[in-house]
Amino acid sequence: MRALMAFTCAACIGLAAPTITEAQERPNLTQLTEILDDLYSSEASIARIEMTVTTPRRTRTMRMRVWTRGEDRALILIESPSRERGTATLRRDRNLWNYLPRISRTIRVPPSMMLSSWMGSDLTNDDLTQSTSYRNDFDGQVVGRAENGRGWLIRYDAHEGTVGLWRRIEYVVNEAGTLPVLARYYDRRMRLARVMRFEDVREMDGRRIPTRLVLEPRDREGHRTEMRYVEMDFDANVSESTFSLTQLERRR
Amino acid sequence: MLGSTARLAWRNLGRNRRRTALALAAIAVAQTAVLAMDGLMNGWGDSMLDTLTGPLMGHAQIHAPEWREERAPDLVIDGVGEMLDEVRALPTVQDAYARIYAPALVAREVDGHAVIVAGIDIAAERSSGGLLEGLPEAGIPTERGALVGSSLAREVGIEVGDELAVLGQGADGSMANDLVTVTGILETPIDMINRTGIVVHLALAQEIFAMPDQAHEINVRGIGGADDAAALVAALGGVDGADQLEVLPWDELAPELSQMLDITEIYGLVVLFIVFIAAAAGVANTMLMATFERRRELGMLLSLGTTPARLVRIVLTEAVVLGLLGVLIGTFLGGLLVFYQNQTGIDFTQWGDQEASVDMAIYGVNFSGAIYPYLSVSDCVPGFVGVVVVSVLAALWPAAVAARLEPVEAMRG
């Protein structure tokens, strides 16, 4: 009996041993922060994204093309469904405009509406104008192993006095410390407000990235927004003039 | 015997007329004050209730469950036309309106402003109790027209004739966007509409926000007024399809308002109580003085064979007659005062800062015009009962003192 137990234990240790050695290599915080900051960013990019919004009562899928340049220029053009085709959102710095082809009008989103939903999704207008920089705005810390034992828990606390929605963002990253698995966003009162899951890691245009992002707000049960990268070009040639109001209105 | 007791008591009251008159005046003034206060509170309470359960609130509302918390555009009442017909046919229902409240962005040029687009039955809501009560027929917007709240129009610089882009979320999750033409600027007693409201025809709102034969709210006014809201809700519960929806009376829709009214009532009771104490002190003082002053005389009565019990009766009768007379005079004067106020109305907006505002706003609802105090018979009753009870209580001590007098000593003293 005792012999059997000893054998089992030995077997367990034997099995666990490689993970333990690997686990002892804590990920490098600086490196990790850089990875998280630059995961999807590039000088200029063009992507095609499919967004699925689920509410307790329905599910809607939209397809869109996204042009970006640097940290603060973005243009999102809805391609389907047909009712919204041609609708565009332009971001320049902290400003957001919506172009509505049906009435050929452009509306700037006022600051008071920044926390409202963007296109009926769980993303807010604010999400589109925020460029979170973990390097500059947060204090990072490798807390230890993730709760479920796989990967690492990284905690970012917003600098004192930083204006922003989130006081703390927690990441669970993979074992190697190269990709995020999960992010938890805590609001100013330290309540868990939303959870983002990073799934379906694939190589796209030479980068290994999670190609499906699932956002679940905690205050609204049954709501979920899924963003799937269908195409990605990280080294696109996108001119500054793409992000102008006239261009927005001319594009039809 | 009783007759002579009353006569004695009455004559005693006439002895020191000045004192009796003062006591009567004290009681009368107290009752007048109580009635004036009651009248004012009745008028104020009614005006408050009327305004608070006014156009925006109604007496009862029907919604999809959870709409009030979430305000999600897709939490709608389906088949609203048919349901509205059924609601209007109920005998307890005075009127009912279907409404759409859709948050949206509105832009005159490029800058968007957060507004609430209210899709309502504009023609019907012009009648008494509707959101647009008093709107002249010429003010009804065109099919694709819109009325803009006055503060909103001022702030954004919207003028009649402007074309506004409206961007919101449709009930089906799609982007709702359209153009409407401003046909009028709206000034209502409801701050929310003045500050953020764009009012359009129900049909246009249904089209813009992809809500065919749907609405967010059915607003109901009952025949029985705000006090009968519970019965109204019970009747509404029987309407086809209402079991899937949330039917609530105004006091559950806005518990803080009904609490406020309750508190006002309690405050009134406290004042009433204080006034009674003052009246009681007046009666007690008069009776004490009257008894002690008449020691000699009471001693004489005792020595002539009057029983102590009869003395007590005489003193108590005196007190009650004094009290009742005072209350009667007070009721007459108070009634007259309240009647006068009722005829003229009290315009308390005059008391405020003329320049600041013409209206008073409470909970975002503007009170305009005057209040009309009134009394019901039940308002006079507490005065009578209270004064009689207080008079008897206040006279008990002097009566007991009188009954225990030693005749000889009393006469000597």
B269 in contact with chain A, both atoms CB, cutoff 8 A: no
For residue B108, the chain A residue with the least C-alpha distance is: A107
Nearest to B114 among A60, A98, A112 (CB): A112
Do B230 and B108 share a domain, yes or no?
Answer: yes
* E strand map for A130-191: 138-145, 152-158, 168-173, 180-186
Q: Do B107 and A57 lie within an 8 Å CB cutoff?
A: no
Domain count for chain B = 2
Please tell me whether residue B31 adopts helix, strand or coil conformation.
Answer: helix
Which of A194, A198, A169, A168 lies closest to A181, judged by CA? Answer: A198
Q: Tell me, what's the pLDDT at A11?
A: 38
Could you count the other beta carbons within 10 Å of the beta carbon of residue B10? 14
Which of B121, B79, B128 lies closest to B99, judged by CA? Answer: B121
Q: Which conformational region is residue B294 in: left (phi greater than 0), alpha (psi within -120 to 50 degrees), or beta?
A: alpha
CB contacts of B175 in chain A (<8 Å) are 83-84, 87, 100, 119-120
Measured distance CA(B241)–CA(A13) in Å, rounded: 65
Place of tokens 């009327």: B50
Straight-line distance from the first to the last Cα atom of chain B, in angstroms, rounded to the nearest whole number: 29
CB contacts of B74 in chain A (<8 Å) are 55, 57-58
Do B245 and B151 share a domain, yes or no?
Answer: yes
A124 in contact with chain B, both atoms CB, cutoff 8 A: no
Do B359 and B383 share a domain, yes or no?
Answer: yes
- Residue B304 tokens read as 């002539």
Taking only residues 183 to 222 of chain A, the set having a beta carbon closer than 8 angstroms to any beta carbon of chain B reads: 220
Do B262 and B249 share a domain, yes or no?
Answer: no
Q: CB of B233 within 8 A of CB of B249?
A: yes
Q: Of B174, B179, B195, B196, which to mutate for an interface test with A (greatest number of A Cβ within 10 Å)?
A: B174
Among A107-111, B47-51, B259-263, the range scoring the smallest mean pLDDT is B47-51
Question: Which residues, 6+ apart, have CB-to-CB distance to A74 below 8 Å?
Answer: A66, A67, A68, A89, A90, A91, A128, A243
Tell me: the pLDDT tens digits for B382-392?
Answer: 788 888 887 78
Tell me: the pLDDT tens digits for A30-49?
Answer: 888 988 888 888 889 999 99
Tell me: the pLDDT tens digits for A200-247?
Answer: 999 999 899 999 999 999 988 889 999 999 999 998 888 888 898 888
Among A7-11, B135-139, B247-251, the range scoring the smallest mean pLDDT is A7-11
Q: How many CB pairs under 8 A join A and B?
A: 67
What is the band of A9 on the pLDDT scale with cuts at 50, 70, 90?
Answer: very low
Burial of A110 (0-12, 13-18, 19+ CB in 10 A): middle
For residue B76, the chain A residue with the least C-alpha distance is: A57
| The pLDDT of residue B217 is above 90 | yes
Q: CB of B133 within 8 A of CB of B55?
A: yes
A58 in contact with chain B, both atoms CB, cutoff 8 A: yes
| The pLDDT of residue B358 is above 60 | no
Amino acid at A60: R
Q: Do B175 and A81 lie within an 8 Å CB cutoff?
A: no
Measured distance CA(B184)–CA(B146) in Å, rounded: 7
Q: Looking at the complex, report in whole angstroms how far the Cα of residue B109 sits from the nearest Cα belonging to chain A.
A: 8
Q: Looking at the complex, report in whole angstroms how far the Cα of residue B105 sits from the nearest Cα belonging to chain A.
A: 8
pTM for the full predicted model: 0.74
Do B384 and B285 share a domain, yes or no?
Answer: yes
Helices (H), B168-294: 191-196, 202-208, 229-237, 250-253, 255-293
Q: Do A103 and B177 lie within an 8 Å CB cutoff?
A: yes
Q: Which of B253, B269, B298 is the last residue of a domain?
A: B253
Question: Which residues, 6+ apart, have CB-to-CB distance to B323 below 8 Å?
Answer: B27, B283, B387, B388, B390, B391
Q: Do B112 and A60 lie within an 8 Å CB cutoff?
A: no
Domain boundaries, chain A: 2-250
Q: Given CA atoms B75, B77, B79, B81 in this order, what sign does their dihedral have?
A: negative
Please tell me whether residue B142 adopts helix, strand or coil conformation.
Answer: coil
Crossing angle between the packed helical segments B17-52 and B2-15, to the nearest 10 degrees: 100
Do B192 and B45 share a domain, yes or no?
Answer: no
CB contacts of B165 in chain A (<8 Å) are 100, 103, 105, 107
Measured distance CA(B162)–CA(A180) in Å, rounded: 50
Q: Do A110 and B173 lie within an 8 Å CB cutoff?
A: no
A86 in contact with chain B, both atoms CB, cutoff 8 A: no
Please check whether the domain covering A2-250 is classified as CATH 2.70.98.60.
no
Straight-line distance from the first to the last Cα atom of chain A, in angstroms, rounded to the nearest whole number: 78
Measured distance CA(A52)–CA(A33) in Å, rounded: 28
A68 versus A3: the higher-pLDDT residue is A68
Q: Do A107 and B179 lie within an 8 Å CB cutoff?
A: no
* E strand map for B128-169: 145-149, 163-169
Measured distance CA(B354)–CA(B13) in Å, rounded: 51
Can you tell me the ipTM of this complex? 0.79
Do B262 and B248 share a domain, yes or no?
Answer: no
Q: Which of B200, B232, B253 is the last residue of a domain?
A: B253
A95 in contact with chain B, both atoms CB, cutoff 8 A: no
Do B303 and B364 share a domain, yes or no?
Answer: yes
Q: Which of B224, B253, B282 is the last residue of a domain?
A: B253
Average pLDDT, chain B: 84
Burial of B131 (0-12, 13-18, 19+ CB in 10 A): buried
Taking only residues 52 to 71 of chain B, the set having a beta carbon closer than 8 angstroms to any beta carbon of chain A reads: 70
DSSP states along B64-129: -TTHHHH--TT--BSSHHHHHHHHHHSTTEEEEEEEEEEEEEEESSSBEEEEEEEEE-TTGGGSTT
Do B249 and B262 share a domain, yes or no?
Answer: no
| The pLDDT of residue A10 is above 90 | no
Q: What percent of chain A has pLDDT over 70?
A: 90
Do B76 and B173 share a domain, yes or no?
Answer: yes
Residue range of the domain that includes B376: 2-52+258-412
Q: Do B165 and A105 lie within an 8 Å CB cutoff?
A: yes
